[in-house]
Amino acid sequence: MPKTALLPLLALLCTTATLAQETPDSWHAYIDESAAAMQERVVEWRRHFHANPELSNREFDTAATVAQFLRSLDMEVTTGVAHTGVVGVLRGGRPGPVVGLRADMDALPVPSRVDLPFSPDVTSEYLGEEVPVSHACGHDAHMAMLMGVAQMLAERRESLPGTVKFIFQPAEEGTPPGEEGGAEMMVAEGVLSEPDVDVVFGQHIWAPAPAGQIGYRPAGTMAAADRFVITVHGSQTHGSTPWTGVDPITTAAQIVLGLNTVVARQTELTRAAAVISVGRVRAGVRNNIIPEEAELIGTIRTLDPAMREKIHADIRRTAEHIAASQGAEVTVDIQRGYPVTYNDPKLTEAMAPSLQRVAGDRAVRIDALTAAEDFSYFQREVPGLYFFLGAAPADRPLEEVAPHHTPDFRIAEAAMQTGVRALATLTIDYMLGHAN
């Protein structure tokens, strides 16, 4: 055989040998070393976002910063997704699955009382008022960690066995009134297609948990959050002669008590938790007038999709029958919010060893949370895993750590190294386990 004919064969054998060296162990070592090496830069990114927060659907400068960074990594970048969302596609040098990784970008109308050199001094318009704005939920850290993963994997793209979609999502905290946005709109605009995403991973930094801990659970992890408005229609009369009308306030009070039995006596709580809370009662104008209407406004939190439907039906039936028993009528309006954040059980079981490799015995199964997350819209389309990264500051006991969405919210930035490792390890382990 001529020497020239051997050259393509030798090149193929060399390439095959090189790729064969890309074992899980070699990838894990690379991830750990890279995460440590870039930690300082991840912190810098986080501090930049923290000092420059933007509200939901208004993440213009944030999106521009992210898009510029992804382009610097020679990715395919799409901007303006669901208004301000940014998507970067990193195609690996080897065939394999498509993994979606998501970080949210928006801040909150919450002042910052944490006196740090990079604390924000930013105001913006919210519901017609000028309000202070801060990253009081950790989305700044989410973006910084995902940027770290993007840089890490882009530097080794020729060995990457698949494709990664980096999804930087706006408006996780909810859109302004009258606007659309967030994960639901990104899905509607095709963020999970072209190329089609096989699985999606996401994480939330969690200040009340020890720094570096990873918390996860299969199935319902965060609740569906629905809003209800129950309007009781009575008949107005003088407060001295209630028998000449129909009292909507008394009826509303009985409905509140009846709603408590929906969870306590009509819901299979051994299956999953649920909460119904009335947060506002509005009726009447003065002491001696029984009004025509009373209004109850509240929230429904469920962790199981089937239970969600049943509880909605139970609320309607309970309110309607109690109203009828008093001679009143009732209108029940249930406005659906975010679905259940539902971790695919098979995917969670398969990826648990990856989380344990990163965090060791600090990777723990946790109880479900009754907070809500619109990551759930991605999980309705493809299998997903959403986990929590502990980030409690070391200078105070856990019980004294400020909760999310408060002016005193603060995190331990050192925990972000664990978050970068976790997302990258999940991505590589899934790809290697499903390589073509």
For residue 195, whether the previous peptide bond is cis, meaning omega lies within 30 degrees of 0, is: yes
Q: Do residues 303 and 220 touch, judged by C-beta distance below 8 A?
A: yes
C-alpha count within 13 angstroms, C-beta hemisphere, residue 186: 34
Give the list of residues 6+ apart from residue 127 with CB closer than 8 angstroms, or none: 176, 177
Q: Quick one: angle between helices 139-154 and 24-51, nearest 10? A: 140
Best CA proximity match to 199, nearest among 40, 436, 429, 10: 429
pLDDT at position 237 is 97
Q: Do 373 and 341 contact (CB within 8 A), yes or no?
A: yes
Query: Measured over all CA atoms, what is the biggest interatomic distance in the chain, rounded to whole angstroms?
Result: 111
Position 11 confidence tier, pLDDT thresholds 50, 70, 90: very low
Tokens encoding 83:
């208004």
The pLDDT tens digits for 345-379 are: 999 999 999 999 999 999 999 999 999 999 999 99
Pick the catalytic residue: 338, 342, 377, 430?
338
Residue with tokens 């989380």: 355
User: What single-letter amino acid sits at 45?
Assistant: W
CA distance 160 to 427: 10
Q: How far apart are CA 296 and CA 177, in angstroms?
A: 20
Strands 85-91 and 329-335, bridge-based pairing = unpaired
Beta bridge partner(s), residue 389:
205, 214
8 A C-beta contact, residue 151 and residue 72: no
Rounded CA gap, 379 and 394, in Å?
33
- Mean pLDDT, to the nearest integer, of 246-261? 98
Q: How far, in Å, CA of 234 to CA of 78, rounded?
A: 54
User: So what's the pLDDT on residue 233?
Assistant: 98
What pLDDT score was predicted for residue 289?
A: 97
Residues 264-274: what's their mean pLDDT? Answer: 93
Tens of pLDDT, residue by residue over 397-413, are 999 999 999 999 999 99
Strand 384-390 relative to strand 219-222, pairing: unpaired
What residues have CB less than 8 Å from 212, skipping those under 6 apart? 359, 362, 389, 390, 414, 415, 418
Domains of the chain: 18-222+340-433 (3.40.630.10), 224-335 (3.30.70.360)
Give the torsion sign (CA, 63, 64, 70, 76): positive
Strand partners of residue 297: 229, 280
Average pLDDT estimate for 182-187: 98
| Residues in contact with 99: Cβ distance below 8 Å, sequence separation at least 6, in sequence order | 162, 163, 164, 165, 197, 198, 199, 200, 201, 426, 427, 430, 431
Residue 406 per-residue DSSP state = S
Q: Is a pLDDT exceeding 90 seen at residue 18?
A: no
Structure confidence at residue 8 (pLDDT): 46
Instruction: Give the model confidence (pLDDT) of 81-91 as tens digits.
Output: 999 999 999 99
Q: In this structure, what is the dihedral angle of CA atoms 221, 187, 337, 340, given to the nearest 10 degrees? A: -20
Please say if the pLDDT value at position 317 is more than 60.
Answer: yes
Across the range 26-36, mean pLDDT stands at 98
What percentage of the chain carries pLDDT values higher than 70?
A: 95
- Determine contact, residues 372/404, Cβ cutoff 8 Å: no
With contact defined as beta carbons under 8 Å apart, do 167 and 189 qualify?
no
Residue-wise pLDDT for 217-252, tens only, equals 999 999 999 999 999 999 999 999 999 999 999 999
Would you call 305 exposed, middle or buried from its count of C-beta atoms within 10 A (0-12, 13-18, 19+)?
middle
Encoded amino acid at 102, one letter: R
- 3 has a pLDDT exceeding 80: no
Residue 344 is predicted with a pLDDT of 98
Mean pLDDT of the chain: 94
Three-state secondary structure readout of 157-169: HHHCEEEEEEEEE
pLDDT score of 417 more than 50 = yes
- Of these residues, 22, 172, 184, 413, which one is catalytic? 413
The predicted pLDDT at position 435 comes to 84
- Alpha carbons 36 and 15: distance in angstroms, whole number: 29
Report helix angle 416-433 to 24-51, nearest 10: 140
- Token look-up 């990104």 returns 186
pLDDT value at residue 436: 73
Q: Is 338 a catalytic residue?
A: yes
